[in-house]
Homo-oligomer: A and B are copies of this chain.
């Protein structure tokens, strides 16, 4: 989601020669969290449509382990963000932006899982941890992962 995320102002340049470095690192980690949920939804919706033709709120809720009302509310956010469209009592569909975000997320997920497997992480843990880690993987890190996987 990095491409289309509205970047928060974070902070003004401090007068102090202290380290604003750590603050920005924490800040980045934190703001990366905003968007993680949307990324998960978009990826899941894409999955559901590919493998079943439709994405219903109930399925989404079940797959994410949340109440259906929560899923519906978040789908509303997806619509506001221009990532999805949905008419009442019809399924949910991704917009162009949503599809392209889903593709990027899926690609990143695959690289992260592969990297974890490559360094010896058990499959189950790799799949599970990647779900949380992937949202914090920067482009630079992702590129390094890809290079590492392409070695030999």
Contact = CB atoms under 8 A, between A and B. Distances in A.
Interface of A: 10-11, 14, 18-30, 32-33, 40, 62-66, 115-116, 119-122, 124-129, 131-133, 135-138, 140-141, 144-145, 147-148
Contact of A144 (B30, B65, B120, B145): B120
A119 B140 contact: no
A133 B142 CA distance: 13
Contacts of A11: 65
A133 B145 CA distance: 14
A5 B129 CA distance: 18
Contacts of A131: 25-26, 28-29, 136
